[in-house]
Amino acid sequence: MTCRLPSRFAPIALAAAAVSLSAVGTAHAQSADVLLDCSACHDSTASTPARPSVPGPFPDLSGQPARYIAHQLEAYRKGLRQHRQMEKTATALGEGGAAAMARLYADAPQPDLRPPAREEADTTGWSLVVNGAWERGVPPCASCHGVSADDTGRLAPILIGRDPAYLAHELRAYADSDRRSDTMGRMRAFAAQLTPSEIDAVADYYGAWRSQEDEP
Ligand code: HEC
Ligand code: HEC
């Protein structure tokens, strides 16, 4: 999870600063600078977040579909996702700033990730991803969560290679209906059908995808 391309985050920090100047009034500019410094928290190359007072885990946004990112920022604005600081960030960005950041992160290059070898993959997690659990109404995760960002109009995010702690945290939030950004309520329904150990297993499976650079 640690070895990614650090250089791609510099333009994102700069663009966030530009968004803060254009989208936010000067009266709020100072606090907005902190809220809008996306890479302080969304830099997957950092082993510890730059803002330890903010509760994580911190998701990596690069290469996510633009429509998904914009939809999440709207969900924070509307209180469908709860995170005090991200609610403020999304409100400060507004609709225009959110669209700009969504395009920027969607265009950030994604590392070329490989699945874990079958013998190393968590079999419970792997099975949920490719087979689902139809008897409980859960389709295969892979039927919606693709592995590349070429379809930027998609609403389902990319899960491969992402921090398992973050993925498990979000699945628990759906299961408890704390996160209600899924417009049809489907992720809430699926997550509520998973046991706590299945949630950890599927998050670990996705987290085990590795870029070639990380391979020994
Ligand atoms: C101080 C830390 C911090 C800053 C600064 C920050 N974020 Fe976040 N962001 C988080 C955390 C933590 C989460 C996960 C919150 C949760 O669990 O819902 C998050 C979640 C998100 C998500 C949802 C990700 C997903 O996969 O669903 C998006 C999109 C996002 N942030 C965009 C931004 C953008 C754009 C900026 C800059 C304009 C920004 N954030 C600034 C901490 C931060
Ligand atoms: C019918 C399509 C569909 C299926 C099947 C599906 N998902 Fe999702 N998933 C989505 C959509 C759409 C979203 C975005 C919802 C939102 O805006 O909150 C999502 C969001 C998520 C998120 C939040 C990621 C983030 O960046 O915050 C996780 C984690 C997740 N799904 C895991 C799973 C797992 C694990 C499975 C299989 C057990 C699964 N999904 C099956 C469509 C699907």
CATH code: domain of residue 85: 1.10.760.10
**Secondary element (H or E) of residue 76:** helix 66-77
Residues 138 and 200 in one domain: yes
Distance CA 12, CA 162 (A): 19
Residues 102 and 118 in one domain: no
Domain ends where: 73, 107, 141? 107
Q: How confident is the model at residue 41 (pLDDT cuts 50, 70, 90)?
A: confident
Residues 118 and 167 in one domain: yes
Mean pLDDT, the chain, integer: 82
pLDDT, tens only, 203-213: 999 999 988 76
182 pocket-lining for ligand 2 (C-beta < 6 Å)? yes
Q: Which residues pair with 173 in a beta bridge?
A: none
Q: How confident is the model at residue 76 (pLDDT cuts 50, 70, 90)?
A: very high
Domain ends where: 81, 107, 133? 107
Residues 145 and 180 in one domain: yes
What residue owns the CA closest to ligand 2's atom 20? Answer: 156
Residues 21 and 80 in one domain: yes
What are the binding residues for heme c?
Answer: 38, 41-42, 86, 141, 144-145, 187
| Domain with 208 in it | 113-214
In a domain, 1, yes or no: no
pLDDT, tens only, 110-139: 778 888 887 777 799 999 999 999 999 999
Residue 128 CA, closest ligand 2 atom number: 38
